[in-house]
Structure 1
Amino acid sequence: MKNINIDKAQHGILRFQFSSDNKESILVDLDFFDELLPQAIDFLEEDSSKAIIFEFKDPAVGTDYKVLFEEAMAWQVFVDRLNSVSKRISRLKGFRKPIVCIVHDECLSAAYSFASMANYILLSKSKGKLGFPETKFGLMPGFGGTINLLQRLGAEGALNILTSGKIYQAEDALKLGLANLLFEEEEEGLSLALSWIAAHKQLESESHLVIKEAEAEYFVNLSSKINRAIPSQLAIVQVFQDSLNENLADAYELEADAFCSVLQRKEPLAMLRTQYYGTADASRMAAAVASFPIQKIGVIGAGMMGAGIAYEAAKAGFDVVLRDISLESAERGRAYSAKVLDKSISLGKATEKHKEIILARIHATDKLAEMHNADIIVEAVFEDIALKNQVIAESANLLHEGGVFASNTTSLPISKLAIASKNPSNFIGLHFFSPVDRMPLVEVICGKQTSEETLNKALHFISKLKKIPIVVQDGPAFFTSRIFFNYLLEGISMIQEGIPLEQIEGAARLAGFGVGPLAVLDEITLDLMVKVYEQLPKLHASQQRTLSYLKKLIAEGRSGRRSGKGFYDYPADGGKKQYWQDPDIAVSKEIPSTDDLKKRLLHVVALDSYRCLDEGILSKAIDGDIGSVFGLGYPTHTGGVFGHIDQVGLAQFVEECKGYAAAGEQWEIPQSLEKLAKEEFQFYKGFDANSFGIRD
Structure 2
Amino acid sequence: MSQTYRHIRVEKGADGVAVITLDNADETMNVVGNAFIADMNAAIADLQGDDAVTGVIVTSGKPAFMAGADLKLMVAAYGRMTRPEAYEFSHNATRMHRALETMGKPVACAMNGLALGGGFELALACHYRVLADDPKAVVGLPEVTLGLLPASGGTQRMVRLLGADKALGLLLTGKSLRPADALKAGIVDALAPADQVVAKAREWLASNPEPSQTWDRKGFFMPEMRGMMVPEVAMGASVAAAGVVRDAGYNLPAPIAVLQSVFEGMQLPMDKALSVESKYFARLLTDPVARNIVRTTFISKQAAEKGARRPAGVPKTTYTKVGVVGAGMMGAGIALVAAVAGIEVILIDRDQASASKGKGYSEKVWAKQVAKGALSQDKMDAQLARITPTDDFALLTGCQLVVEAVFEDVEIKAETTRKAEAVIPADAIYASNTSTLPISGLAEASARPDQFIGMHFFSPVDRMGLVELIMGKQTSPETLAKALDFIAQIRKTPIVVNDSRGFYTSRVFQTLVYEGAAMLEEGVEPARIENAAKAAGFPVGPLALLDEVTMDLPIKINEQAIAQNDPNYVARGGVDALKAMIALGRSSRKAGAGFYEYPAEGPKHLWAGLREQFPAAPEQPEQDELKTRFLYTQAIETARCLEQGVLETAQDADLGAVYGWGFPAWTGGTLSYIDTIGLETFVREADRLTQQYGPRFAPSAWLRDRAAKGEAFYPVEAA
- Matched residue, 1:350: 375
Contact kept? 2:292, 2:666, Cα under 8 Å:
yes
Task: Give SS of 1:582's match.
Answer: helix
Task: Give SS of 1:221's match.
Answer: helix
| Distance in 2 between residues matched to 1:544 and 1:81, nearest whole Å | 48
> Could you give the per-residue CA deviations for residues 207-237 of structure 1, whole angstroms, max 9, x where no partner exists?
6664397565332232333323222222212
| Distance in 2 between residues matched to 1:71 and 1:542, nearest whole Å | 39
2:193 aligned with 1:155, yes or no?
A: no
- Matched residue, 2:122: 114
Select 2:518's aligned residue among 493, 496, 499.
493
Task: Give SS of 1:561's match.
Answer: coil
- Matched residue, 2:594: 566
2:524 aligned with 1:524, yes or no?
A: no
- Matched residue, 2:150: 141
2:289 aligned with 1:267, yes or no?
A: yes
C-alpha RMSD of matched pairs (Å): 3.2
- Matched residue, 1:670: 700
Task: Give SS of 1:28's match.
Answer: coil
1:232-311 to structure 2, matched below 5 A, reads 232-285=254-307, 289-292=314-317, 294-311=319-336
| Distance in 2 between residues matched to 1:297 and 1:275, nearest whole Å | 30
Contact kept? 2:453, 2:475, Cα under 8 Å:
yes
Task: Give SS of 1:574's match.
Answer: coil
| Distance in 1 between residues matched to 2:81 and 2:139, nearest whole Å | 30
Single out whichever of 545-554 and 29-38 deviates more from structure 2: 29-38
Count of residues paired in the alignment: 687
Contact kept? 2:321, 2:400, Cα under 8 Å:
yes
2:46 aligned with 1:18, yes or no?
A: no
Q: 1:238 is matched by which residue type in structure 2?
A: Q
1:23-422 to structure 2, matched below 5 A, reads 24-36=28-40, 40=44, 52-56=56-60, 58=62, 59=64, 60-68=66-74, 73=80, 75=82, 76=84, 79-80=87-88, 82-83=90-91, 86=94, 89=97, 99-126=107-134, 128-184=137-193, 186=196, 188-194=199-205, 197-198=208-209, 203=214, 204-205=217-218, 210-211=223-224, 216-226=234-244, 227=248, 228-285=250-307, 289-292=314-317, 294-346=319-371, 348-422=373-447
> Could you give the per-residue CA deviations for residues 321-378 of structure 1, whole angstroms, max 9, x where no partner exists?
0011121221121122223333444555433232222222110012223223422111
| Distance in 2 between residues matched to 1:265 and 1:674, nearest whole Å | 26
| Distance in 2 between residues matched to 1:602 and 1:584, nearest whole Å | 26
| Distance in 1 between residues matched to 2:20 and 2:616, nearest whole Å | 69
| Distance in 2 between residues matched to 1:193 and 1:338, nearest whole Å | 47
Single out whichever of 188-197 and 517-526 deviates more from structure 2: 188-197
User: Compared with structure 1, are the counterparts of its residues 685 and 175 closer, same or farther at alpha carbon in structure 2 (3 Å cutoff)?
Assistant: farther
User: Compared with structure 1, are the counterparts of its residues 26 and 278 closer, same or farther at alpha carbon in structure 2 (3 Å cutoff)?
Assistant: closer
Task: Give SS of 1:583's match.
Answer: helix
Unpaired runs of at least 5, structure 2? 1-5
Task: Give SS of 2:131's match.
Answer: strand
- Matched residue, 1:692: none
Task: Give SS of 1:218's match.
Answer: helix
Identical amino acids, percent of aligned pairs: 34
Contact kept? 1:405, 1:426, Cα under 8 Å:
yes
2:650 aligned with 1:621, yes or no?
A: yes
| Distance in 1 between residues matched to 2:212 and 2:523, nearest whole Å | 70
| Distance in 1 between residues matched to 2:219 and 2:446, nearest whole Å | 72
State the 1:98 CA deviation. Answer: 5.2
Select 2:659's aligned residue among 615, 618, 630.
630
State the 1:442 CA deviation. Answer: 1.1
User: Compared with structure 1, are the counterparts of its residues 88 and 586 closer, same or farther at alpha carbon in structure 2 (3 Å cutoff)?
Assistant: same
State the 1:545 CA deviation. Answer: 5.6
Q: 1:614 is matched by which residue type in structure 2?
A: E
State the 1:379 CA deviation. Answer: 0.9
Contact kept? 2:20, 2:56, Cα under 8 Å:
no
State the 1:543 CA deviation. Answer: 5.1
Q: 1:113 is matched by which residue type in structure 2?
A: E
Select 2:580's aligned residue among 525, 537, 552.
552
- Matched residue, 2:620: 591
State the 1:34 CA deviation. Answer: 4.9
Task: Give SS of 2:587's match.
Answer: coil
Q: 1:609 is matched by which residue type in structure 2?
A: T
> Could you give the per-residue CA deviations for residues 142-179 of structure 1, whole angstroms, max 9, x where no partner exists?
11112112222333433343344444322232233332
TM-score, normalised relative to structure 1: 0.90
Contact kept? 2:466, 2:656, Cα under 8 Å:
yes
| Distance in 1 between residues matched to 2:620 and 2:288, nearest whole Å | 31
State the 1:26 CA deviation. Answer: 3.0
- Matched residue, 1:693: none
Q: 1:218 is matched by which residue type in structure 2?
A: G
Single out whichever of 96-105 and 599-608 deviates more from structure 2: 96-105
Contact kept? 1:99, 1:118, Cα under 8 Å:
yes
2:648 aligned with 1:648, yes or no?
A: no
Select 1:3's aligned residue among 5, 8, 24.
8
User: Compared with structure 1, are the counterparts of its residues 258 and 299 closer, same or farther at alpha carbon in structure 2 (3 Å cutoff)?
Assistant: same
Unpaired runs of at least 5, structure 1? 690-696
State the 1:568 CA deviation. Answer: 1.9
Contact kept? 1:508, 1:598, Cα under 8 Å:
yes
State the 1:589 CA deviation. Answer: 2.7
| Distance in 1 between residues matched to 2:179 and 2:667, nearest whole Å | 33
> Could you give the per-residue CA deviations for residues 358-404 of structure 1, whole angstroms, max 9, x where no partner exists?
22211001222322342211110122333323322333322211221
User: Compared with structure 1, are the counterparts of its residues 572 and 68 closer, same or farther at alpha carbon in structure 2 (3 Å cutoff)?
Assistant: closer
State the 1:199 CA deviation. Answer: 8.5
State the 1:99 CA deviation. Answer: 4.3
Q: 1:4 is matched by which residue type in structure 2?
A: R
> Could you give the per-residue CA deviations for residues 671-693 of structure 1, whole angstroms, max 9, x where no partner exists?
1112222222211124728xxxx
Task: Give SS of 2:612's match.
Answer: coil
Contact kept? 1:603, 1:657, Cα under 8 Å:
yes
User: Compared with structure 1, are the counterparts of its residues 207 and 417 closer, same or farther at alpha carbon in structure 2 (3 Å cutoff)?
Assistant: same
State the 1:63 CA deviation. Answer: 2.8
User: Compared with structure 1, are the counterparts of its residues 9 and 490 closer, same or farther at alpha carbon in structure 2 (3 Å cutoff)?
Assistant: farther
User: Compared with structure 1, are the counterparts of its residues 71 and 616 closer, same or farther at alpha carbon in structure 2 (3 Å cutoff)?
Assistant: closer
Task: Give SS of 1:139's match.
Answer: coil
| Distance in 1 between residues matched to 2:581 and 2:179, nearest whole Å | 53
| Distance in 1 between residues matched to 2:579 and 2:81, nearest whole Å | 59
Contact kept? 1:54, 1:102, Cα under 8 Å:
yes
User: Compared with structure 1, are the counterparts of its residues 686 and 477 closer, same or farther at alpha carbon in structure 2 (3 Å cutoff)?
Assistant: same
Q: 1:425 is matched by which residue type in structure 2?
A: D
Contact kept? 1:522, 1:568, Cα under 8 Å:
yes
| Distance in 2 between residues matched to 1:576 and 1:301, nearest whole Å | 31
Task: Give SS of 2:425's match.
Answer: strand
Contact kept? 2:642, 2:649, Cα under 8 Å:
yes
Q: 2:656 is matched by which residue type in structure 1?
A: G
TM-score, normalised relative to structure 2: 0.87
Task: Give SS of 1:669's match.
Answer: coil
